[in-house]
Structure 1
């Protein structure tokens, strides 16, 4: 029985387009059965205000749809909603296809850099399964890198993981002189302060019809949720740093949570010899999100790079 929640606006290739199949999920991951509830409409669901339920749902989704047999993260780490995260992956595949005569390049020759991969490792796990791309994940938190390595090892997955040892840097120190990437991706910290993060948490609890709690249903540590200047400053720093590795990355990309921030980021892009940039909207249920992508290569050069992928 599938959940009644409409996800018709997810990417057409998203496995969760028609909602959660709780019969399949509980069959694949029986532990989830303890968290199943019946909605007033008579459909199966979970209590999304319960962080244990959310984590168990993620375990079931990753196992049933992405062949991830083991996935566990510390309680304080960000526990991302899988359908929305994998949507980003599918839209990135379309971005590559636009440069490759509508054909999506697949296989481990496609190199992807995940900035701030976190303990959850969600993009390498889902993107690796969907397109067999080779992922490199980076994070400033050594504990997150340790957990991510354990997840990769337990599932016998070849995912490269690097610790960013300087919190002031994004690409510097993780993109070496001989590295070449077709894509970078990032889900940046979008709050400008810890106070903003708390307010955001309170809004989530209110939307779930619950009293405010000190525990986020999706978790998250400070470095995962906020940074000085918020996402505009973080992505602007990313754009500035990208100039130094312009010849080593075909497309730089980052999620942008607030539409109002796009104008400032476009201004930041204009400070550099960018050949092309795109704002790609991703609609997920009632929520509209987006990512920004920029490249220092013109379209003909990108097409040639894609052609070499086979």
Structure 2
């Protein structure tokens, strides 16, 4: 029996994992399942192969993705939490769209750090039909994302960011126009902190100390100098140059304590509005910060305009 979650009401995974349905969609998942102490079917979330197979089953059963794979040791994202971000972004856009959820390819989304998994474009196109552009600094991640998109006949514009210090600079064209950007930034400030975070996760899973990552992850996916505050601060700074080309800029914020610092950074940038949206996921609460340079009375016109 599935366990009720606190995910977004439109999230297809709000009732937990229905393993019977997932195995029917992808029989290869079956050997990875096991009963938990309560007799419910689950998988060993410490097992990298099991987590990847679960993702394949979820993407096939709920999003029509027939092929999905990523290179070894790359970040294997938890699908329910990632798609929750998409649903909350749809609500954010609805505020400027007469409270109607915007759907269709006329809505343009920019995924910063799209990664090898291509998880946001996959789920976002399926849920709302949005048109995605994905940017990443890693050529291997871009190649993997291209393979996934091609195998599933998805139209995703993928761009390599060649300068690691840049976020928007160099990959956003003068005629680009986006309704929303999204980003899951590297949240650790150093490899040492990333390792400590990994060890805490394994301890919570009852495995003790380990340097392995059950969800994987390359250095660029897990940490950067200065951590997420520096990364998002750079994003805010660079967003000013394309202030009129995007309605809402957003980024996940892993640490609640960082929110006040980010508010101060946004105030200095003289944004028209900023907000923090909290997302409940089981026992955990995550959040994203959103900002715009476009005045409130102009946002509906931006939504109605043709994105180029």
TM (norm. structure 2) is 0.98
Please, what is the CA RMSD of the aligned residues? 1.1
CA drift of 1:309 comes to: 6.1
Which residue of 186, 189, 207 maps to 1:189?
186
Describe the superposition over 1:179-205 as per-residue Cα deviations: whole angstroms up to 9, x where unpaired: 000000000000000000000000000
Which residue of 16, 36, 47 maps to 2:33?
36
What residue in structure 1 maps to residue 45 of structure 2? 48
Which residue of 121, 142, 146 maps to 2:139?
142
What residue in structure 2 maps to residue 157 of structure 1? 154
CA drift of 1:212 comes to: 2.4
SS of aligned partner of 2:243: helix
CA distance in 2, matches of 1:224, 1:102: 34
1:251–1:294 contact (8 Å) kept in structure 2: yes
CA distance in 1, matches of 2:140, 2:168: 20
Aligned: 1:275 with 2:272: yes
- 1:20-35 correspondence to structure 2 within 5 Å: 20-35=17-32
What residue in structure 1 maps to residue 15 of structure 2? 18
CA distance in 2, matches of 1:161, 1:245: 19
What residue in structure 2 maps to residue 169 of structure 1? 166
What residue in structure 2 maps to residue 257 of structure 1? 254
CA drift of 1:157 comes to: 0.4
What residue in structure 1 maps to residue 223 of structure 2? 226
Q: Which runs of 4+ in 1 moved over 4 A?
A: none
Describe the superposition over 1:152-177 as per-residue Cα deviations: whole angstroms up to 9, x where unpaired: 00000001100000000000011111
CA drift of 1:231 comes to: 0.3
CA distance in 1, matches of 2:119, 2:48: 17
CA drift of 1:139 comes to: 0.4
Describe the superposition over 1:96-133 as per-residue Cα deviations: whole angstroms up to 9, x where unpaired: 00111110111111000000000000000000100000
1:105–1:309 contact (8 Å) kept in structure 2: no
CA distance in 2, matches of 1:3, 1:216: 26
5+ residue gaps, structure 2: none
Aligned: 1:288 with 2:285: yes
Which residue of 103, 111, 116 maps to 1:114?
111
CA drift of 1:287 comes to: 0.3
CA distance in 2, matches of 1:54, 1:213: 17
5+ residue gaps, structure 1: none
TM (norm. structure 1) is 0.97
CA distance in 1, matches of 2:62, 2:306: 27
1:253–1:293 contact (8 Å) kept in structure 2: yes
CA distance in 2, matches of 1:54, 1:177: 40
Which residue of 177, 197, 202 maps to 2:199?
202
- 1:91-110 correspondence to structure 2 within 5 Å: 91-110=88-107
What residue in structure 2 maps to residue 3 of structure 1? 2
CA distance in 2, matches of 1:145, 1:38: 37
SS of aligned partner of 1:59: helix
Aligned: 1:72 with 2:72: no
1:68–1:155 contact (8 Å) kept in structure 2: yes
1:3–1:45 contact (8 Å) kept in structure 2: no
